[in-house]
Amino acid sequence: MGVKIVETALRDGHQSLFATRMTTEEVLLALKELDKVGYHALEVWGGATFDACLRFLNEDPWERLRKIKKVCKHTKLQMLFRGQNILGYRHYADDVVEKFVKLSIKNGIDIIRVFDALNDIRNLECAVKATKKYGGECQIALSYTTSPVHTIEYYVNLAKQVEALGADSLCIKDMAGVLLPETAYQLIKAIKENTKLPVELHSHCTGGLMEMTYMRAIQAGVDIIDTALSPLSGGTSQPCTESINYALEGTEYDPKLNKEMLELAAIKLAPVRQKYLNNGLLNPKVLGCNPNILKYQVPGGMLSNLISQLTQQGALDKLDEVLAEVPNVRKDLGYPPLVTPLSQMVGTQAVLNVLNKERYKMVPKEINDYLHGKYGQAPAIVNEEVRHKIIGNDEVITYRPADDLKPEFKSLKEQYKGIAKSDEDVLSIALFQDIAIKFLKRRNEDLKPTVIKLEA
C-alpha cells in the first residue's frame, strides 16, 4: 500500500506562512476539489485557527468547522489538540477537556491529534480517553527535539507508552523542521519495530531539507506524511503535496492522489497566496530556506519572535548572544522541546538573561509556574541551583497538574449564560476569555435584527 497523505494547507499551511489568517470563505474555495483528492485526512482546525477566527477574523470557529464538514463527504477531518491545554495556553480541568473533545467530534472532527509540549503522557490521558469515548480517532503526537536526553531510545520508550494508552496512531511532530534524513530513518524504523502503531511524520521545510527527510522516513516505513498544496507549501510550511505525489508515482509508495483535483484546487488557492503576498502578511522571507534553524535548533516562528522582541528593545545586535543563551536556558529547564508555549517561555527568558546582564534576575510568571511543576514533568533533570534562585524552597508538584483543578464547565456556563448561546460558545469563552466575549457580544448584536424580522 502507498503512503497516505494528510493535507495541511487549511491549518498548518496558512498558520506557518501568514499567521493563520485565511478566512472561512477562502478555506471553502477549493474544498470540493480537495475532498476528491484521496487524502487520508484534511487538517483544518487547531489552536491558532480557533484563536485567529475570534481575534482577527470576527468569525465563529465552530461555524467554520460545520461549514467544512458540510462539503467534505469523502475525507476525514483532523484537528490539532494541545493536551490538557486544549487550544488555549493554560491547563484546563478534565470536564472542559472532555466537553471540548465531545463537541469537536459532534461538529465534524474525525481525527484528533493530541500532543503535549513536554511529552508528559499524563497530560494526554484525559483527551485520549474522551476521544475514544465519543467515537473519534485518536492520534498522539510526540514533540520532536534534539538534546542529550532526546535519543531514539527515549522516543521508542514514549511510543510504547503511547500504544499502551490506546492511541490509534502516532505522529512525530517536528515543529521546528530540524529532523535530519538519517535520524528520521533510524527513528521511524525503531518505532515501527517496537510498536504496531501506524506512524505519521509532520515537519516543516524551514531548514531546506524536508523532502529528503520525508523520503528517508518513507523508506523506513512511515505510514502517513503531512504535506501542503502548492500555494500553501514550502518555506516555513510543509513540503508540496503535488510534488511529493509526482516523486512517488509508480513506486511502491505511490500515494495515488487525484492529480486533476490537485491541480484544480491549486488554481483556486493560488490567488489566496497572492493576496497575502500583496498585503504583506506573507513575507517572502519565510518562503526561503533558513539553515540557521539547524544551527540554533529553534523553530522558525521562535526565531522571528526573538528578532522582533529584540528589534522593539533596540537590541537586535544581541541576537547571537540570545541564540547562544537559548540552549543554556533549555538545559537549566531540563530540555523542554521548543513548541508552544515552551518556545515563547524559553525565548523570553533567554532575552531577559542577556539584556539584564544577569541570568534569571527577571523571570516571567510562566517560567516560575514551570519550575513549580505546573506544566508537568520536565524531560530531564532541572538545574536545582536555578530553581532555588527563582522559587526558593517552594513545594514542587510531581502529580498531574490538572489533578488540582476542579470541574469548571458548569460554573462557566452559569456565569456567561447571557452571552453564550450554546455549549460551544461556553468553550470559546473558557479558552479565549475576553476575545471570545467580545466576538460573541458582536455576533449576538448582529443576530438581533434577524430575530425581530422573523417575529414580525
Name the site residues for Co ion (rule: CB under 5 A).
12
Q: In whole angstroms, what is the distance from residue 352 CA to residue 293 CA? A: 21
Shorter beta-carbon distance to Co ion: residue 12 or 59: 12
What are the helix (H) ranges across 174-258?
A: 181-194, 210-219, 241-248
Task: Decide: 298 and 343 in contact? Cβ < 8 Å.
Answer: yes
> How many residues appear in the chain?
456
Cα 79 to Cα 89: distance, rounded to the nearest angstrom: 17
Residue written as cell 537559548?
Answer: 326
By beta-carbon proximity to Co ion, the closer residue of 14 and 400 is 14
- Measured from the CB atom, the residue of 12 and 223 that comes closer to Co ion is 12
Least Cβ distance, residue 16 to Co ion (angstroms):
6
φ, ψ for residue 280, nearest 5 deg: 85, -10
Closer to Co ion by Cβ: residue 36 or 40: 40
Shortest approach of Co ion to residue 53 CB, angstroms?
18
CA atoms of 112 and 80, how far apart (whole Å): 6
- Residue 410 CB, nearest approach to Co ion (Å): 34
- Cβ proximity to Co ion: between 21 and 359 the closer is 21
Q: How far is the CB of 8 from Co ion (least distance, A)?
A: 7
CB of 452 to Co ion, least distance (A): 45
The least CB distance from residue 12 to Co ion, in Å, is 4
- Residue 423, C-alpha cell as written in the block: 455549549
Q: Which amino acid is at 22?
A: M
* Closest approach of Co ion to the CB of residue 79, in Å: 13
Q: Are 117 and 339 in contact (CB under 8 A)?
A: yes
Shortest Cβ 407–Co ion spacing (Å): 32
Number of H helices, E strands in the chain: 20, 8
| CB 329, min distance to Co ion, A | 23
**Among the residues of 279-421, which ranges form H helices?**
292-296, 300-312, 319-332, 342-355, 365-371, 384-391, 409-415
| Cβ-contact 235, 205 below 8 angstroms | yes
Q: Would you tell me how many other CB atoms lie within 10 Å of the CB of residue 112?
A: 26
Nearer to Co ion, 225 or 382 (CB): 225
* Residue 81, phi then psi, degrees to nearest 5: -130, 120
Nearest distance, CB of residue 50 and Co ion, angstroms: 15
Q: Which residues pair with 226 in a beta bridge?
A: 6
From CA 337, how far away is CA 322, in angstroms rounded? 17
Please say whether the beta carbons of 320 and 60 come within 8 A: no
Distances (CA, A) of 85 to 81, 138, 325: 8, 17, 27
Residue 298 or 420: the one with the smaller Cβ distance to Co ion is: 298
* Closest residue to bound Co ion by CB: 12
| Of 217 and 440, CB closest to Co ion | 217
Which residues touch 327 (CB under 8 Å, ≥6 apart)?
Answer: 297
| 12 versus 33: smaller Cβ distance to Co ion | 12
Measured from the CB atom, the residue of 12 and 332 that comes closer to Co ion is 12
8 Å CB contact between 78 and 106: no
Q: How far is the CB of 175 from Co ion (least distance, A)?
A: 5
Nearer to Co ion, 12 or 116 (CB): 12
Which residue has 520525508 as its cell numbers? 214
Check residue 335 and give left, alpha or beta (phi > 0: left; psi -120 to 50: alpha): left
Contacts of 105 by beta carbon, 8 Å cutoff, 6+ apart: 112, 131, 134, 135, 136
